[in-house]
Structure 1
Amino acid sequence: MPFSPPSGIAFHTADQIPVGELSAILRRITTFLQSLDLAPQPLRLYHDWWQHDGLHFDEGQITFHDLFAMFETPRTLFEATPDDDEVFIGVAPEDGNWYLRFRAEWDADDRSIVGEFAIILPSETAALFRAEVATPSKHVLVEESSESYYKSVKV
């Protein structure tokens, strides 16, 4: 079944953040996502080329354990990211209820590794995410409708 972007509310970084901080917030987000279901369903891994050339590739099934392994350290997060410009890792449950996308890369000066993420959640889950993850974050997260977010990132 082809990927269908979920509707709802998007939360995303306003700017790139240091990879160590990105790794930490992605672990908090993944813990939050895992807590949404009593029996978490399998996840799908994608190479998300929306900002590169508009394409989206299914890379197979993964588990929450696999996802946590991607964020275990800043290095594992950087190594999980495809080398192509503006290509993100995307993850969604098989029911397509939410979508997490992220990437890590060298900054413009090639001095440090930075990254960004976005998560699209159902509207009814947004308040809980805001309270448990977004508000405690030291980084300002932009909150907008998923439709507005998709328009801003899809080529």
Structure 2
Amino acid sequence: MATPRQTARTDPLTMEVVELIGDVVARFYEDYEDAAAEHALTGAQARLLSLLSLEPLPMRKLARKLKCEPSNVTGIVDRLESRGLVERRPDPTDRRVKVAAATDEGRRIARDLREGLRFAREPLAGLSAEERGSLRDLLRRMLAP
């Protein structure tokens, strides 16, 4: 008897949805790279800045979130710090640890980046509020642990 995982692999509808999700992800990253370039940032710099606009984070946690080596994060933070977009601060809970934090200008650029993502804005605007809510709920279910 086929397991649910095997059935999902061979189900044409599931495969089509998987391909569509891949297309959405590819378009998102392409648009994100374009939005980053408008601010003379790389995609990695923009992603790090966006994370730091939410909360200050230690380098190791940034590396885990970005799925890269801590030494890479240090270089990205150095470049953003030289532009005045990020600063290093002592961690308020452990003064031995440094956290990276977005400056006011860094938060402004992170907000501009989010607002500059165009690829889904028009297609989403074509959906009703109820359809957008359903899509959000389905995506949340897919991402739930």
**TM-score for the superposition, normalised by structure 2:** 0.26
Task: Tell me which of the two structures has the higher relative contact order, counting C-alpha pairs closer than 8 angstroms and 6 or more residues apart.
Answer: 1
Relative to total residues, which structure has the larger strand share, 1 or 2?
A: 1
Relative to total residues, which structure has the larger helix share, 1 or 2?
A: 2
**TM-score for the superposition, normalised by structure 1:** 0.25
